[in-house]
A and B are shown apart, each in its own frame.
Chain A
Amino acid sequence: MLEAGLYFLQQLINGITIGSTYALIAIGYTMVYGIIGMINFAHGEIYMIGTYVAFMAIAGMAMLGIEFLPIIFLGALLASMLVSSSFGWAVERIAYRPLRGGNRLIPLISAIGMSIFLQNYVRLGQGSRDIAMSSQITGGFSIGPTDGFHATLSYMQIIIFVVMLVSMALLTLFISKSRMGRACRAVAQDLKMANLLGIDTNRVIATTFVIGAALAAVAGTLLGMYYGVVNAYVGFIAGLKAFTAAVLGGIGSIPGAMLGGILLGIAESMTAAYFSTEYKDVVSFGLLVLILLFKPTGILGKPEVEKI
C-alpha cells in the first residue's frame, strides 16, 4: 500500500518536472498565437538551440575553471536565453514579418521551412550525433523508507519546478503591470486599433517572439541539464508536446499554457508508469485529437466571439 503510494508520488514528481518545461515552451506558442493568430512551428527549434547554447556555456565555463554551481547554472541560463532570443527575433524578422497581412497559411508554411532550416543548420554545425553532458547538479531527497522502495525528489527537479514558477510569476507580472505588457494585451485584443493609437505593433510582436524564445531557452537549459543529452532533433517532439499543452490549456491563454503543460506532463508520466513507456506519445497526441474534437477552445480558452 505504502509502496504503491510512493510509486504514484514518484510519477507525479516526474510528471510535474517534465510538465513544467512543456509549460515554459508552450508560453511561446500561446503568446504568438494570441497576438497574430499564427502557430510558430519553429519554436521547438528555438528550444533546441537553447539546450545547445547551455551545454556550450557549461563546457566553456568548465574550461575557464569556474566551479561554483550557481554561477555555472545562471551563466548557462543567461547565455542560452540571450542566443535563443536573438534567434526568435531574427526568425520573426526574416521569415514571418515580410509575409504578414497576406494569407494566414503562408507564414505557417514559412514556419515549417524555418524549423527544417534550423534543425539542419544546427546539425551541420554541431554534428548529427547526440551530445552528452554529465549532470552538474546531483543528489536529492528520499521520501519513504531508506531500505525499501522510496520516492526521490532530486535537487534538479526542485530547481526545474522553482525556476518555472519564478519565470511564470515574472511573466505574469510583466504582462499585467508593465507598459509593454499592457501593449501586448492591447495588440492581442485589437492589433489595428493599437496601431491607430500610434503604437508600433511590429515592435510589440517582436517582443512576444523574444519573450517566448527566452522562456523556451529556460526550458532548454533545464531539460538539457536534467537529461544530460541533446541532438538537433529534440526540438521537434518537444515543440509538438508544448503545442499540445498550449491547445490543451486553451491556445492564446497564458495560464492555460501553464496548466496544459503540467497536465500533459503528468498524463505522460502516468501512462509510462502504469501502462507502457511506448504509449506515452500516443496518449499525448491522442489527447490533442480529443481536445480538438470535443473542446477546441481548451480548458481555459475562450471561444472566439465576433466583435460587434
Chain B
Amino acid sequence: MLNLKNIHTHYGKIEALHGVSLNVAQGEIVSLIGANGAGKTTLLMTICGDPIASEGSIEFLGEPINEKSTSEIMRSGISIVPEGRRIFPGLTVEENLQMGGFFMSKEDYQKGTEHVFSLFPRLKERINQRGGTMSGGEQQMLAIARAMMSTPKLLLLDEPSLGLAPIIINQIFDIIAQLRDEGVTIFLVEQNANQALRLADRGYVLENGLLVMEDSGDNLLANDDVRKAYLGG
C-alpha cells in the first residue's frame, strides 16, 4: 500500500535520512522504533511531503506521491496524528472534528462523527469545549478522532503515547488495535517500543537515519539487540 524506496531527506545541508526503503501492506500495523533524533518524525513527515524527499520515491496505492503537495497527499487517503497532537487549541472539539472532515459531504461527516464518538465517548460529552482546555489524554483522543474523520486508508501515528499516563496509553493502544480490525492500515512511530512492537505485525528499527532491522513484531521483541537498546534490558 505504502512503498518507500531509497528516501533521502535534507534539512538545509544536513541529511536526516540516508536512503530509507520500507513498505506497509494493506491491513497491517507496522511500527517504527528508534531513539530520539534517529529520524522517525522526519520519515513520517516526508511521507506527508513536508519536508519533500530530496531523493527516492514514495508510492501510495500504486501511485507516486512524492511530487505532490502536502495538502494533495493528505486528501488522497492518508491521515496523520502528528507529534505533540497539534489539535487546534482555540477551536471546540466539534470544530476540530469539522476541520478533520473538511472535504466531506454532510452525510459522510455525520457518519464520521458517529464513528469517532463510538471510539471516544468522552469527546461527545465535551463537544463544545475548547481543545486547549482538555487534558493530554483527551487531546490525544481528539487528535486521533480528527485524523479518522476523513476515513483514511492509511493512518500515520507519531508517538501517540508520549506524555500520557499508563492507563491512558493502554486505552490509546486498544483503540489503535480496534482501528486495524476495522480495516485501517496503520504506520506507528513510537519510543514506547514494548507496546508498539507487541501490537505490530511488523516492525522497523531506525538508527541515525538508516533502517537497521526489519522483522515481525514478536521477533523484534525477542531480539537481544533490540531488548538492550529499546526495551531497557
Instruction: Check A199/B71 contact, CB under 8 A, given A182-B98, A183-B102, A185-B91.
Output: yes
The answer to whether A201 and B71 touch (CB under 8 A), given A186-B88, A190-B86, A193-B88, is yes
How many angstroms between the C-alpha atoms of A200 and B89 in the bound complex?
20
Contact A197 B100 (CB under 8 A): yes
Name the one of A182, A196, A199 contacting B80, with C-beta atoms under 8 angstroms.
A196
Contact A195 B50, CB 8 Å, known A182-B98, A200-B71: yes
Q: Does B175 belong to the interface (CB within 8 Å)?
A: no
Taking A189-B89, A193-B82 as known contacts, 14 extra A-B pairs with beta carbons closer than 8 A to each other, sorted by chain A number, are A179-B98, A182-B91, A186-B88, A186-B95, A189-B88, A192-B86, A193-B88, A195-B71, A196-B48, A196-B86, A197-B100, A197-B150, A198-B75, A199-B71
Instruction: Select which of B72, B74, B90 is within 8 A of A196 by beta carbon.
Output: B74
Contact A197 B82 (CB under 8 A): no
**Most-contacted residue by chain A among B98, B102, B103 (CB, 10 A):** B102
Q: Is A63 at the interface (CB under 8 A from chain B)? A: no
Q: Does A1 contact B (CB under 8 A)?
A: no
Q: How far is the CA of A280 from the CA of B226 in the complex (A)?
A: 72
Determine the distance from Cα of A89 to Cα of B40 in the docked complex, in whole angstroms: 39
Interface: B99 (CB within 8 A): yes
Residues 52-82 (chain B) with a chain A CB within 8 angstroms: 70-72, 74-75, 80, 82
**Are A179 and B102 closer than 8 Å at their CB atoms?**
yes
> Nearest-CB distance from A200 to chain B (Å)?
5
Whether B146 sits at the interface, judged by CB under 8 Å, is yes
The residue in A195, A200, A307 that gathers the most chain B C-beta atoms within 10 A of its C-beta is A195
Residues of B within 8 A of A185 (CB): 88, 90-91, 95
Check if A194 is an interface residue, CB within 8 A of chain B.
Answer: yes
Identity of the chain A residue whose Cβ is nearest the Cβ of B149 in the assembled complex: A197
A308 in contact (CB, < 8 A): yes
A308 cross-chain contacts in B, Cβ below 8 A: 84
A183 contacts which chain B residues (CB < 8 A)?
99, 102
B interface, CB within 8 angstroms of A: 48, 50, 70-72, 74-75, 80, 82, 84, 86, 88-91, 95, 98-100, 102-103, 146, 150
Please, which residues of chain B bring their CB within 8 A of the CB of A198?
71-72, 74-75, 102-103, 150
Question: In the complex, A197→B95 CA distance in Å?
Answer: 13
A294 to B99, CA, bound (A): 37
Inter-chain contact B50/A189, CB cutoff 8 Å? no
Interface range for A: 10 to 19
Measured in the bound complex, the distance between the Cα atoms of B99 and A109 in whole Å is 34
A197 and B146 within 8 A (CB): yes
The list of the 4 closest CB pairs from A to B, nearest first, reads A198-B74, A198-B75, A193-B86, A189-B88
A interface residues with partner B (beta carbon < 8 Å)? 179, 182-183, 185-186, 189-190, 192-201, 307-308
A298 vs B100: C-alpha distance when bound (angstroms): 32
Residue of A nearest to B76 (CB): A198
A185–B82 Cα distance when bound, in Å, is 19
Assembled-state Cα–Cα distance A196/B90 (Å): 18
- B106 CB, min distance to chain A CBs, angstroms: 11
State A182–B75 Cα separation when bound (angstroms). Answer: 18
Contact partners of A186 in chain B: CB under 8 A: 88, 91, 95, 99
A203, closest chain B residue (CB): B71
List chain A residues, Cβ under 8 A from B86: 190, 192-193, 196
| Chain A residues with CB below 8 A from B74, complex form | 195-198
Closest B residue by C-beta to A201: B71
Taking A182-B95, A183-B102 as contacts, is the C-beta distance between A196 and B88 under 8 angstroms?
Answer: no
Question: What's the least CB distance linking B30 to chain A, in Å?
Answer: 20
Chain B residues lying within 8 Å of A190, measured Cβ to Cβ, are 86, 88
Give 17 A-B contacts (CB < 8 Å), ordered by A residue: A179-B102, A183-B102, A185-B91, A185-B95, A186-B88, A193-B82, A194-B99, A195-B50, A195-B70, A195-B71, A196-B70, A196-B80, A196-B86, A197-B100, A198-B150, A199-B71, A200-B71
**Given the interface contacts A182-B99, A183-B99, A201-B71, does A196 sit within 8 Å of B91 by beta carbon?**
no
C-alpha spacing A183/B70, complex, angstroms: 16
A306 to chain B, nearest CB (A): 12
Within the complex, the shortest CB–CB distance from A227 to chain B, in Å, comes to 38
**For the complex, what is the distance from the CA of A193 to the CA of B89, rounded to whole Å?**
12
Alpha-carbon gap, A96 to B20, bound state (A): 35
Whole-angstrom CA separation of A94 from B57 in the bound complex = 32
CA distance A185 to B86 in the complex (A): 14
Chain A residues near B50: list those with CB within 8 A: 192, 195-196
Q: Cβ of A307: which chain B residues have Cβ within 8 Å of it?
A: 84, 89
Most buried by A among B88, B103, B146: B88
A97 to chain B, nearest CB (A): 13
In the bound complex, CA of A57 to CA of B72 (Å): 41
Contacts of A196 in B (CB 8 A): 48, 50, 70, 74, 80, 82, 86
